[in-house]
Structure 1
Amino acid sequence: MDLSSLFTAIAPLDLRSCLITQQGQLTFKHYRDLQTETAIARINSCTKSVLASLICIAIDKGLLPPLMTSISVFFPQLAQHRDSRKKEITLLHLLTMSAGFNWTEFGGQNSFPRMARSPNWVNFVLEQPLSDSPGVRMEYNSGVSQLLSAILVQATGMTTARFAELYLFELLEIESYKWEMDPQGIHTGGFGLWLSPSDMLKFGQLYLQQGKWDNKQLISQELVARSVRSAFLVEAPRQGYYGWHWWTDSYPVASNNSSTHSVEYFYARGYGGQYIYIVPSLKTVVVLTNDKRKKEQYPVDVFRQIIAPLLLQQL
């Protein structure tokens, strides 16, 4: 498909990168400069989706108990907590961000900045009161991602980054990365991973291929499918649904007979314009990266308003 018009459309946005593969072939490539092509940069909350893949791999390997297991297995202090609901929080609740903690990521309580300034991030999260019973609603929370990273360390006996190297990065030939850590040396679960745009594209392609890479099943098809399935409707101003540390949504398509249907997609999203979109029905992966401050960015949804209409011309 000819995507040449996309160069003109995104030129005013001054994106750091825009990459598109269709049916496994790179069909569009834009880098702001030569350095960007190989340089690693923060992918921010796209880290959450990478972490989710590691949790799935650990489940496949039998290193983690069933997802309905209480996290008090890993954090025994919750078993005797004065709020008995805390011992009901499961691994699945963490993955779907429905643990129930009273948490405002930014603004309000500023929970994320407070966690990042605390001497022990895991303890900070566990000590937060509950505003909902576990499983009732999704509340975006980088703290529960940190709990998942800490659980992965306990379950595997190695750091999150080392587990990623052995069972994901090396197999995808991701050779250059950086991963930040909390004060206890636990790699950040909700942010802090640095990758190049091309390696982000590999990760998206792995999910498009249902966990298979070079004829090896790195993640079981069942867990890939479950992880990107809508679990909770997200609250405004966000749009769509949330799965296991993946966002899900759909794009309306009008047909010639005036009826409409939707093209489903799922994506990883990081602050500041870092995205990995997977559109299974179009066999397409889109990576977008940006490094401008929010007030310097154009107020446009690049994927939905610019890229998706071009991709859907092939339907």
Structure 2
Amino acid sequence: MKSFYQTFGFYLFLLLLSLKTAVAQSKDYYPDEKWRVSAPEAQGINSKKINDFISLLRAGRIQKPITSFAIVKNGYLVVDETFGNYNGNTPHTLQSVTKSITATLVGVAIEQGFIQSTEQKIISFFPEYSSIANMDNHKRDLDLEDALTMRTGQAWTGESHLDALNRYPGDRMKYVLDYKMETSPGKKWYYNSGIAILLGGLLQNASGMYTQEFAQKYLFDPMQISSANWRWSHRGIPHTGGGLFLKPKDMAKIGYLYLRNGNWKGKQLLPEWWVKKATTRHVTYTEDIAGISQLSYGYMWWLMSLDKKARNQVSTEIFMAYGHWGQFIFIIPRYDMVVVFTNSSSASYAEELKPISLLFDYVLPAVEG
């Protein structure tokens, strides 16, 4: 009997050791141009549940405008599905997912020494403007962290302002800098695409490089992302509020960078403290989105709870990049998982938000049991 227990204990030890080794190896893995691939079941995902979900998507029964759906778990691409006329081989519009990547580029600029800290004043990056309209102490106090958390103090009270900015034929950087202040920075939150667009000019001035070249050299090239394509905003500056296009599998790489605390193949692309700050609650968003009445906001990343029963509680267990028409990157550290959805421009507002419900109602149950 003693021999049996000794043998059983030995094999149990080997099993636990192999599992520990497998987890450690997954943490050390980084994709090259392509991801390694695994069956869902091998990474702890219920294959039947996830395949049933994909069948519903393909039949158009729960989300008609969807163009792609991908899951990376433990460093393996376990789901890679495309729908309709989209095959995943061309860059897809990200819309405001671009903002989360723009914020990421600010962190990269800090890691590279082009920006010293998030306490630097915004106007200090734009010495070319000797005269800025509506200048007051509030505007002088506006710093990079205020911009990243969209607590600028500007009276940017609706995205109709973005339409006006996108149509503006003149200098769009100055348009945003000139914008009237409503209150002191750091107090009031308004969703502000203008400030995200301004960060494109800020990155160019700080680095001395075209923003798209900076992004390619210091973020995309190290991650072997060659699909990046930009829509332009003004004077050769890309539209950093919503103009980036990436392939869905490259969107997953952005999420994976955050799962690995800003490290890529042993090189720190983002400061580790930056990842923590970017995914920490700075603002509580009180309006209802897809049945969630309390989201949080970090550095241009949305944050929410993993527990469906506690979806109305402020939490930061899921990091979410969200763009118009239903473009999403979900980062879920507890499961070492990134989930990507993209949708076509035909999506209604209700359809645009549907991937949040799909995550909770179909994807997470396939992981949890």
Q: Provide TM-score, normalisation by structure 2.
A: 0.77
Compared CA separation, residues 48 and 298, structure 1 to 2 (3 A): closer
> Quick check: 236-245 or 152-161, which moved more?
236-245
Paired residue type of 2:368 = Q
Contact 1:253 1:262 in 2 (8 A): no
Paired residue type of 1:163 = F
The C-alpha deviation readout for 1:243-282, integer Å capped at 9, x for no partner, is: 1111111132569xxxx99781011111001000000011
- Which residue of 2 is the match for residue 301 of structure 1? 354
Task: Provide the secondary structure at the position in 2 that maps to 1:194.
Answer: strand
Alpha-carbon distance between aligned partners in 2 of 1:88 and 1:78, rounded to the nearest angstrom: 16
Paired residue type of 1:244 = Y
User: Are 1:116 and 2:163 an aligned pair?
Assistant: no
- State the shift of 1:47 in Å: 0.7
What are the residue-to-residue correspondences of 1:12-161 with 2, within 5 Å?
12=60, 13-14=63-64, 15-32=66-83, 35-76=86-127, 77=130, 82-106=135-159, 110-118=160-168, 119-161=170-212
- Which residue of 1 is the match for residue 35 of structure 2? none
Alpha-carbon distance between aligned partners in 2 of 1:240 and 1:296, rounded to the nearest angstrom: 18
Paired residue type of 1:6 = F
> Quick check: 208-217 or 168-177, which moved more?
208-217
The C-alpha deviation readout for 1:1-25, integer Å capped at 9, x for no partner, is: 1222221332321310000111111
Structure 2 gap ranges (5+):
1-44
- State the shift of 1:112 in Å: 0.1
Alpha-carbon distance between aligned partners in 1 of 2:158 and 2:197, rounded to the nearest angstrom: 13
Structure 1 gap ranges (5+):
none
- Which residue of 2 is the match for residue 4 of structure 1? 51
Task: Say which one has the larger Rg.
Answer: 2
User: Are 1:266 and 2:319 an aligned pair?
Assistant: yes
Paired residue type of 1:265 = I
Paired residue type of 1:144 = I
> Quick check: 238-247 or 295-304, which moved more?
295-304
Paired residue type of 1:184 = R
The C-alpha deviation readout for 1:106-133, integer Å capped at 9, x for no partner, is: 2xxx100111111111111111111221
Alpha-carbon distance between aligned partners in 2 of 1:306 and 1:283, rounded to the nearest angstrom: 15
Alignment RMSD: 2.5
Alpha-carbon distance between aligned partners in 1 of 2:107 and 2:352, rounded to the nearest angstrom: 35
Alpha-carbon distance between aligned partners in 2 of 1:48 and 1:296, rounded to the nearest angstrom: 19
Alpha-carbon distance between aligned partners in 1 of 2:305 and 2:362, rounded to the nearest angstrom: 13
Calculate percent identity across the aligned residue pairs: 30
Q: Provide TM-score, normalisation by structure 1.
A: 0.89
